[in-house]
């Protein structure tokens, strides 16, 4: 039996690599005629199907947990959909840095929902995160705000991620497979609402050729594996080490976006990004404590 001393960190590295690369197949699917919402709908629906036999009894949740699980599903659904839309239409690394403001929002949500005080380290994390965001977003004399809908989506995805993580504390005793299924179905539900609201036609699915359908299946399988990999890794890795490994997603995204999309960051973005990363690392210390 492999030792968790290397298997758990490897699981986190695999998950970080997946999330640092997943933007590319979604962009290819959009070029094939699938919007980000429709691509999310079919990939997450396909990802949910293998979990149905595993959790066929998982719908019988205790009454006290049903509302919290629904809240987790909806917030996680928004997180994943907005992330996909953001990396399709925006600069990948800027979107990810805005996403990694999540520790800031986590501290605020934890105070509101869990009555946890941030303390001095928490306040330092909040200040460093905000300072990094201001440095990265400042352009000219205007307010340091996201410059495009995609960047707003990246920011919103990080907020949704923080909220779903805090809410997950309310259902932490629920098995991983059941939680994962609810999250996937949450993405499906939010995506379906968005597709319906925008009047998108499902005829685009009929125009997909076999390579694109194989890509859909590959993305779905990868999402399932990455979800279980990160859950396993977090359960068997100290918080300080886990956050460092997961931040490798930024490295993967930076390299892949430059090689595959020709995106290059400016010095201001590197400085602001380094401050955001530092705040995230400090948040790992806070979790460990």
Kindly report, residue by residue over 59-68, the tens digit of the pLDDT. Answer: 567 777 788 8
Count CB neighbours of 127 within 10 A: 13
Q: Which of 57, 13, 22, 71 is nearest to 43 (CA)?
A: 22
Alpha helices in 54-118 (DSSP H): 63-89, 92-99, 102-113
Least confidently predicted of 54-63, 151-160, 164-173: 54-63
74 burial type by CB count under 10 A (0-12 exposed, 13-18 middle, 19+ buried): buried
List, for residues 209-244, the tens digit of each pLDDT value.
899 999 999 999 998 888 888 878 877 777 667 777
- Integer angstrom CA distances of residue 269 from 49, 99, 150, 156: 40, 14, 16, 19
Q: Does the pLDDT of residue 278 top 50, yes or no?
A: yes
Regarding predicted confidence, which is higher, 84 or 51?
84
For residue 231, count other CB atoms closer than 10 A to its CB. Answer: 16
The model's pLDDT over 79-133, given as tens digits with 9 standing for 90+, comes to: 999 999 999 999 998 898 899 888 788 888 877 777 777 677 777 877 888 888 8
pLDDT for 1: 43
- Higher-pLDDT residue of 169, 30: 30
pLDDT of residue 140 exceeding 80: no
pLDDT of residue 85: 93
Please say if the pLDDT value at position 270 is more than 60.
yes
Give the integer Cα–Cα distance in Å for 80 and 23: 12
Q: Are 182 and 71 a contacting pair, CB within 8 Å?
A: no
* Calpha distance 133→105 (Å, rounded): 13
């Amino acid at each position: 039996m492999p030792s968790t001393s290397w298997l758990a960190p490897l699981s986190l590295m695999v998950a970080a690599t997946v999330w640092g690369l997943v933007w590319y197949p979604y962009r290819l699917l959009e070029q094939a005629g699938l919007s980000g919402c429709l691509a999310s709908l079919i990939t997450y629906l396909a990802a949910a199907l293998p979990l149905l036999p595993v959790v066929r009894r998982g719908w019988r949740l205790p009454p006290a947990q049903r509302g919290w699980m629904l809240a987790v599903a909806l917030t996680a659904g928004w997180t994943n959909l907005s992330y996909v839309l953001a990396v399709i239409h925006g600069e990948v690394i800027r979107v990810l840095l805005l996403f990694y403001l999540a520790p800031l929002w986590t501290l605020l949500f934890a105070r509101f929902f869990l009555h946890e005080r941030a303390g001095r380290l928490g306040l330092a994390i909040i200040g460093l995160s905000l300072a990094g965001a201001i440095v990265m977003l400042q352009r000219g004399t205007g307010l340091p705000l996201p410059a495009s809908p995609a960047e707003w989506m990246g920011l919103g995805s990080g907020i949704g991620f923080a909220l779903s993580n805090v809410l997950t504390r309310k259902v932490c005793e629920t098995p991983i497979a059941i939680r994962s299924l609810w999250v996937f179905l949450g993405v499906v539900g939010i995506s379906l609402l968005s597709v319906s609201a925008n009047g998108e036609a499902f005829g685009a699915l009929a125009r997909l050729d076999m390579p694109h359908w194989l890509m859909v299946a590959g993305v779905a399988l990868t999402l399932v594996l990455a979800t279980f990999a990160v859950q396993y890794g977090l359960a068997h890795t100290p918080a300080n080490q886990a956050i460092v490994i997961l931040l490798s997603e930024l490295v993967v995204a930076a390299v892949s976006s430059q090689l595959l999309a020709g995106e290059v960051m400016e010095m201001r973005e590197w400085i602001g990004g380094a401050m955001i990363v530092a705040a995230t690392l400090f948040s790992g210390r806070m979790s460990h404590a």
